[in-house]
Amino acid sequence: YYTRFVSMDKAEDDYLSKAEAIYWEPSDNVEDLYIQMSNEKLLEINKETISIQELLGSGEFGEVNKGIWQSPVGDLNVAVKVMNQDIDKQSQTALLQEAAILGQFSHPNILRLVGVVTLTVPNMIVTELMHEELKRFLIDLQTQHNQELDYETIAPHFLSVSRQVASGMQHLAERGCIHRDIAARNILLTDKFVCKIADFGMSRRLQTESDYYKVKGSNKLPVKWSAPEAVFFKRFTLKSDVWSYGMLLYEIWSVGRQPWPYEDNRSTVEKMARGVNLPPPSGCSRAIYELMVDTWHPRANQRPDMKDIVTRLSVPNEMLLVRTQLENRSGTLPPAFMLG
Ligand code: ADP
């Protein structure tokens, strides 16, 4: 089941041919998964050592609370996802699988799994505690400053966010992991402005694409963030993640704007098919906009890979060059359909 995370079309993707699929595949069967998780050294936490504090938010399968874990090295602030009691087996498996995937990464820009509670019910997933969602941060920033935002001041922070996420994604890419739901809503920030990629859960909730439509309704597919070949042909690769990363860049530099805010999914798809790009956000440099446009190349293999992106973002002077009047690059690309 999880092989879907590792693109099987290796020949088509240079990056992937070098990528190593490092992680073990979480089983579909919850009983096997429990055994796997204990064999694979995911830390099992005794629930008595966790004290649950206030509610942080409610997800689909459970509540996320602030918690304090009495770890062997002292008290740690953590986020504790407590699984709903009436959760069905499939969702329970999906959640544990998500934890199992998360537990296999160790990178400053990927949310860290602390441990799991699987020996007692309710099962819990314990991760490092984050401050807020990037999306929320951007929207608040926009609201606070209205039209008065000082881009000269904020741009270096935006560049830092862009680079951190790219760096986390490069780590995933090098391990052949396709996230499939890269968007500002799935990036969490610490109070020190460190960005971490979270929510590896979306792909997990898919059994097959057709189930997905049936279960969730098409509005749940992140169409506005998804590459044309993913939307049209269900082809998810590292390069479709790169496309979504471009959408995330757009969200960052437009200070929390949703891509295509006035379009519904259907007309977004039509625009995509015609090769129409989003216009440059007003606070964004030419180099950043060029990067965005490159990530939206209709041919997946023409998009830069995450390594290139990290490199490009590491030249701050160029990236932050005071904005000039940028022409909208919309419509300059051939239709996605024609390129397949
Ligand atoms: P969803 O099911 O919508 O993906 P989650 O269950 O992952 O949401 O999370 C629910 C809420 O808890 C979200 O608002 C999210 O911002 C918050 N949250 C999730 N993980 C953490 C964390 N590690 N630290 C702080 N808040 C978190």
Helix (H, G, I), strand (E, B) or coil at 86: coil
Contact call for residues 78 and 56 (beta carbons, < 8 A): no
Among the options 13, 181, 199, 241, which is catalytic? 181
pLDDT of residue 217: 35
pLDDT of residue 207: 29
Mutate which of 56, 97, 139, 180 for ligand 1 pocket (most atoms within 8 A of beta carbon) = 56
> What's the token pair of residue 26?
């979480």
pLDDT of residue 327: 59
9 carries an active-site annotation = no
283 alpha carbon, distance to own chain's centre: 23
Residues 6+ apart with CB under 8 A from 140: none
Which residue's alpha carbon is nearest to atom 19 within ligand 1?
Answer: 64
Helix (H, G, I), strand (E, B) or coil at 247: helix
Number of Cβ within a 10 Å radius of residue 130 = 20
Which residue's alpha carbon is nearest to atom 17 within ligand 1?
Answer: 57
Whether the CB of 60 sits within 6 Å of ligand 1: yes
Contact call for residues 238 and 13 (beta carbons, < 8 A): yes
pLDDT of residue 333: 42
Rounded Cα distance between 215 and 209, Å, is 10
Rounded Cα distance between 249 and 230, Å, is 19
136, burial (CB in 10 Å: exposed 0-12, middle 13-18, buried 19+): middle
Whether the CB of 53 sits within 6 Å of ligand 1: no
pLDDT of residue 42: 80
Whether the CB of 64 sits within 6 Å of ligand 1: yes
Residues 6+ apart with CB under 8 A from 277: 292, 293, 296, 328, 329, 330, 331, 332, 333
The DSSP symbol for 303 reads: S
Whether the CB of 133 sits within 6 Å of ligand 1: yes
Residues 331-336: contacts with CB within 8 Å, 24+ apart? Answer: 331/274, 331/275, 331/276, 331/277, 332/275, 332/277, 333/275, 333/277, 333/296, 333/297, 333/298, 334/275, 334/298, 335/273, 335/274, 335/275, 335/298, 336/228, 336/229, 336/232, 336/272, 336/273, 336/275, 336/298
Whether the CB of 129 sits within 6 Å of ligand 1: yes
pLDDT-flagged residues of the chain (< 50): 1-21, 203-219, 331-340
pLDDT of residue 322: 54
Residue 189 Cα to ligand 1 midpoint, Å, equals: 12
Rounded Cα distance between 51 and 128, Å, is 14
Residue 202 Cα to ligand 1 midpoint, Å, equals: 13
pLDDT of residue 321: 67
Give me the sheet containing 195-197, strands edge to edge: 132-133, 187-189, 195-197
Which residue's alpha carbon is nearest to atom 26 within ligand 1?
Answer: 130
